[in-house]
Structure 1
Amino acid sequence: MTAAAAKKVDCAKVKCVALTFDDGPGKHTKRLLDDLRKAKVPATFFILGQNVGGNRALVKRMAAEGHELANHTWSHPQLTQLSDAAVRSQISRTNKAIKAASGVTPRLMRPPYGATNARVGRAVGMPQIMWSVDTLDWKYRDVARNVRVGVNTPRKGDIVLFHDIHSTTVAAIPKVVAGLKKRGFTLVTVSQLYAGKKLKPGGLYYKR
Structure 2
Amino acid sequence: MRLALLLSACLLCLNAQAAPVDVASLDRGTWPEKLVSPALFDVASRAEILMFAHGLLASEALDDAALKQRLGLKIINLAAIDDLRRQLWQRLLENYTFAQQSCEEDASFCYLVENMDDLREQAGKFEVSDNSFYIGWAAPSRHFHARYLDELLRKAALFPQISSEVARFGDHERNGDELNDRMFLLTFDGGPATVSGNTDWLTDYLRKQKMNATFFVLGSSLQTRVERSSAADVQALYQGQCVGLQGWQYRSHSHWVDWQSSITRSAGLVQNLMPENYVPLFRPPYGQRRADSQGFFQQQGLQVALWDIDSQDEPGKLKADESAQRVLTLMLLWRKGVIVFHDTQDKARVALPMVLQATAQSGLGWQECREAFR
- TM-score range (shorter-chain normalised) is 0.7 to 0.9
1:60 pairs with one of 226, 235, 260: 235
Whether 1:108 aligns to 2:284 is: no
* Alignment partner, residue 8 of structure 2: none
Greater RCO, 1 or 2 (C-alpha within 8 Å, sep 6+): 1
Cα pair 1:30 1:58 within 8 Å, conserved? no
1:36 pairs with one of 185, 195, 206: 206
TM-score if structure 2 supplies the norm length?
A: 0.45
Deviation at 1:60, TM superposition (A): 1.5
- Secondary structure (helix, strand or coil) at the match of 2:280 reads coil
Pairing of 1:25-104 with structure 2 (within 5 A): 25-26=192-193, 27-56=197-226, 57=232, 59-61=234-236, 63-65=238-240, 67-83=241-257, 86-104=258-276
Deviation at 1:145, TM superposition (A): 0.9
Deviation at 1:55, TM superposition (A): 2.7
Instruction: Tell me how far apart the structure 2 counterparts of residues 187 and 131 of structure 1 sit (CA, whole Å).
Output: 15
Deviation at 1:87, TM superposition (A): 2.1
Structure 2: gaps (5+ residues): 1-177, 227-231
Deviation at 1:77, TM superposition (A): 2.3
Deviation at 1:14, TM superposition (A): 6.1
4+ runs of 1 displaced by more than 3 Å? 11-14, 56-59
Deviation at 1:174, TM superposition (A): 1.6
Going from structure 1 to structure 2, the CA distance change for 1:61 and 1:176 (only over 3 Å counts) comes to farther
Whether 1:135 aligns to 2:135 is: no
Deviation at 1:146, TM superposition (A): 1.9
* Alignment partner, residue 121 of structure 1: 294
The number of residue pairs the alignment matches comes to: 182
Going from structure 1 to structure 2, the CA distance change for 1:121 and 1:82 (only over 3 Å counts) comes to farther
Instruction: Tell me how far apart the structure 2 counterparts of residues 174 and 76 of structure 1 sit (CA, whole Å).
Output: 26
Which digits, 9 at most, give the CA deviation of each residue in 1:48-67, with x for residues without a partner? 011112334564135432x2
Whether 1:165 aligns to 2:332 is: no
CA RMSD of superposed structures (Å) = 2.2
Deviation at 1:72, TM superposition (A): 0.4
TM-score if structure 1 supplies the norm length?
A: 0.77
Deviation at 1:106, TM superposition (A): 3.2
Deviation at 1:143, TM superposition (A): 1.6
- The more displaced of 149-158 and 71-80 is 149-158
Relative to total residues, which structure has the larger strand share, 1 or 2?
1
- The more displaced of 128-137 and 96-105 is 96-105
Instruction: Tell me how far apart the structure 2 counterparts of residues 47 and 58 of structure 1 sit (CA, whole Å).
Output: 16
Deviation at 1:92, TM superposition (A): 1.0
Which digits, 9 at most, give the CA deviation of each residue in 1:135-160, with x for residues without a partner? 11114251211221223321333011
* Alignment partner, residue 187 of structure 1: 366
Report the AA paired with residue 235 of structure 2: K
Whether 1:149 aligns to 2:329 is: no
Cα pair 2:321 2:350 within 8 Å, conserved? no
Which digits, 9 at most, give the CA deviation of each residue in 1:100-120, with x for residues without a partner? 321244311111111123223
Deviation at 1:169, TM superposition (A): 1.7
Report the AA paired with residue 17 of structure 1: F
Cα pair 1:142 1:168 within 8 Å, conserved? yes
Going from structure 1 to structure 2, the CA distance change for 1:189 and 1:122 (only over 3 Å counts) comes to farther
- The more displaced of 116-125 and 102-111 is 116-125
- Secondary structure (helix, strand or coil) at the match of 1:119 reads coil
Which digits, 9 at most, give the CA deviation of each residue in 1:77-112, with x for residues without a partner? 2111123xx222111110111123212443111111
Q: Percent identity?
A: 23
Cα pair 2:212 2:369 within 8 Å, conserved? no
Instruction: Tell me how far apart the structure 2 counterparts of residues 58 and 165 of structure 1 sit (CA, whole Å).
Output: 18
Going from structure 1 to structure 2, the CA distance change for 1:150 and 1:61 (only over 3 Å counts) comes to farther
